Chains A and B, each alone.
Chain A
């Protein structure tokens, strides 16, 4: 989406135009949903939080001054909303729900192994501290720059970068341990 087009959509959304709001939701709901899903590990929670985030954003859109992009602002609201949710959630609440998404490819052994790896990686993400989880998700999955992540989380670029590298090292270690347990590995 062109920046101009998005600016026009945001301006129209500020006036309450339903079509513009719908277009912005269509544009970002998937990535926000998957971002929240990877943070929470729970599909139901991710769906509810996604709705909450968009409702919050459009109710406060008159306060959006365009200093950052709409996408960054959306991620800012989504990140803080999800971190608050995770802070309130009892530990271990996500274990069951990690199975929420259907696996579309259960036929070949290779696909099953790959899906299993994904499952382990997602489980590994849930073991990270919440702040690191947010940084990994924003950087590795959503491709946001450190500057944007620092703006979203209210920390320095250096801290974000260090936390990200630390988290990737942890995930790699967990990944190695898990893959060694998979069938076919020595």
Chain B
């Protein structure tokens, strides 16, 4: 009976010292047992010292772990950042800006596309029955189709609504101008920049 009891008590001692929660009855049984069993008392002391010595960790300078962290990040983070970044290779501040506001990328691309459309339109020698399709990285495209009143819409610009035309192109100035040119088979593109950029001046001037 006693050896079996000692074995059970030692198991509890090891478990208790290793962090396994023991109930009150188990702790009391251990205390009662080691009070009268010298071998198990010695076992308990030894195990306590062994486990305490095992757990003891030596201090290391903070720089030691900082270096480990830096090495890990250098190996891991650049790769994942490249995957995450919407615009690799651009300036860091721009990358940070786009990562904080994901919609800014498409919006900026769209705006850039519209601006480029205007710039290209000014460079074209003639416009009638021509389409100018401008696209940035976004899906936004702009098509201007100018013709006489009998042959369809005066101005057809892709997915852009009439409200947007008013907002971006200076009220009704452009449409007025195009209607006034409706009988012509073609439109002098050289007139358009002033109209786009300073519609009021164009009207008044």
Contact = CB atoms under 8 A, between A and B. Distances in A.
Interface stretch (B11-19, B137-145, B147-155): B11-19
A140 B72 contact: no
B93 interface: no
The binding surface of chain A is classed by DSSP as helix
Interface residues of A, number: 43
A29 B68 contact: yes
Interface residues of B, number: 33
A44 B8 CA distance: 41
Given A21-B76, A51-B71, A175-B46, A15 B84 contact: yes
Contacts of A168: 14, 18, 47, 50-51
The binding surface of chain B is classed by DSSP as helix
Given A55-B76, A165-B11, A175-B46, A140 B51 contact: yes
Interface stretch (B27-35, B56-64, B162-170, B179-187): B56-64
Contact of A18 (B53, B71, B81): B81
Interface in B154-204: none
Contacts of A22: 69, 73, 77
B55 interface: yes
A16 B81 contact: yes
A34 interface: yes
B75 interface: yes
